[in-house]
Amino acid sequence: MSVKLNALISDSYVDVSQYRDQHFKGNRYDQEKLLKQSHTLYVGNLSFYSTEDQVHEIFSKSGDVKRIVIGLDKVKKTACGFCFVEYYTRTGAENAMRFINGTRLDDRIIRTDWDAGFKEGRQ
């Protein structure tokens, strides 16, 4: 019975994924702990032409966005198809995971995942 109840309570869009940042400084336990408390999402499969304003327009529908950091190519400094969206609250980020993950932006289906928190230099 508890397995079924747990499955009903759990929302797979909000659960911490199996993906782990290979460049995370710390052990797996520390990373897991940060992911469970995080207000930051990784957003993948963005068009190289998607703007910060477009990302903000969509993601602000689920909560107050603190900042957006567009991923840049290290050499060319051009967008490379991902960004980080940081919310003021965990609830805003959870809403985005539930309702925005898998939606379209610039004719591409975007995906969201938890991130342990953006640190300068990761973009």
Q: Is residue 121 part of a domain?
A: no
Q: Is residue 76 domain-resident?
A: yes
Which tens digit of pLDDT belongs to each residue from 90-100? 999 999 999 99
13 occurs within a structural domain: no
3-47 tens-digit pLDDT: 333 333 444 445 655 555 555 566 677 767 777 888 999 999 999
Q: Is residue 50 part of a domain?
A: yes
Residue 5 lies in a domain: no
Cβ–Cβ < 8 Å for 93, 16: no
pLDDT of 51 strictly over 60: yes
Residue 25 placed within a domain: no
pTM of the model: 0.77
Q: What is the mean pLDDT of residues 112-116?
A: 88
Q: What is the pLDDT of residue 120?
A: 61
Domain count for the chain, please give it: 1
Give me the CATH number covering residue 85.
3.30.70.330
The chain-wide mean pLDDT, for the chain, equals 81
In a domain, 54, yes or no: yes
